[in-house]
Chains A and B, each alone.
Chain A
């Protein structure tokens, strides 16, 4: 039995556990190797393992980057009627929480829901721009699944696939892509007219490769139409699911792409900010999860021509899958990504 002292730390579900320093180090190495095996990325070097160990083996309640090394926070979801009107929420984030960037959105956050209220959302953006200072974007998740039955007009590819009706499933997904691209561009049109600084495609790819394709196509159209409009493209997961399997963007098959290749296509399409995502394994330690996240995102940094803002919300980027993520875990995730990857923001 070891006499090594145990340090309080957390699992991916947020619950406390206690681990020895050597146990945390072993988890960091294992998390890095798990990423290397799955995504064919290089594992973390010894210096990076040691750096993460210093962060995760510390019993401190709170930690942060060195003074002067601060980054931009994208702050999605800041204006969604959390405690007052949406404009008051935006003002609260700007005035009380020092948000670098604001985002107007609706609670449902789905593109197909927003498309029916474009004029109202544009009016709200217009009004919000008059009484805020920080850059203000409009955020939605493409959520392509809502375009399928019973919620939408297209056949349900998730129902067709288990039946072996592959061609019909693919045709349904392709039909939904066309509708989503048209809706995304209409949304950008109305928001640009209203004064928005940018559009945020959040949780892109939640419905797999068709959804990622829709976001890329819409981004290219918006970039050509509005050269000064920002487009933030944030992902839903670390790996693009092949719900269709054969879709391509300029000769690159979308299914199965990991963060670096997702980034390459996002910046090629004209995005101004890319948000990679690495999902949490709730049964492993946060040290394991963060090592895996750093190893998966690291290849992005060598090829990024646009700012990279890894997602660090609930259940991604080393932040526990718990509705109120503990501050001790959140600050460690933020510090790790900034110091090890030199990201442009979060």
Chain B
């Protein structure tokens, strides 16, 4: 069921920019258009680009937002997981709870 929904209507999560739009909706209560516009402006892309894995893979790579793991493309030198969320918080200019906790627990890293 999830796959059908995802293929039919989803932005695509970290394959593209769906997690970024979701974050603005979830923590800021932004409507879809407002959230897409906000994220696109912060990333220097268009709202249309946010659901395009081709554009967004490059953007995520450049900004250190984390990408899909693939046996064909290893990214050991790039930010991922909690590291990526530090970069997302800074670029989107929104506090991310677990990033703040990480800072607290690592002496303000």
Chain A residues with a Cβ under 8 A of chain B: 62-65, 67-75, 78, 93-95, 97-101, 126, 129-137, 192-198, 228-230, 232, 272-273, 304-307, 312-314, 319, 324-325, 327, 330-331, 334-335, 338, 342-346
Contact = CB atoms under 8 A, between A and B. Distances in A.
A312 B9 CA distance: 12
A334 B9 contact: yes
A218 to B, nearest CB: 17
A272 B28 contact: yes
B8 A335 contact: yes
B25 interface: yes
Interface residues of B, number: 49
A75 B11 CA distance: 12
Given A94-B13, A129-B82, A63 B8 contact: yes
Contact of A133 (B47, B65, B101): B65
B85 to A, nearest CB: 6
Contacts, number: 194
Chain B contact residues: helix, strand, loop or mixed: helix
22 contacts: A70-B10, A70-B11, A70-B12, A72-B11, A72-B22, A72-B25, A73-B11, A94-B13, A100-B12, A129-B101, A130-B81, A131-B81, A134-B19, A134-B22, A195-B101, A197-B98, A307-B31, A325-B1, A327-B3, A330-B1, A343-B32, A344-B25
A60 to B, nearest CB: 12
A97 B11 CA distance: 11
A305 B22 CA distance: 16
Main secondary structure of the interface of A (DSSP, over half): loop
B45 interface: no
B8 A64 contact: yes
Query: Interface centre among B80, B81, B84, B98, by most A CB within 10 Å?
Result: B98
A331 B10 contact: no
Contact of B97 (A73, A197, A304, A342): A197
A75 B2 contact: yes
Contacts of A62: 4, 7-8
B26 A135 contact: yes
B6 interface: yes
B30 A73 contact: no
B97 to A, nearest CB: 5
Contacts of A273: 25-26, 29
A272 B82 contact: no
A74 to B, nearest CB: 8
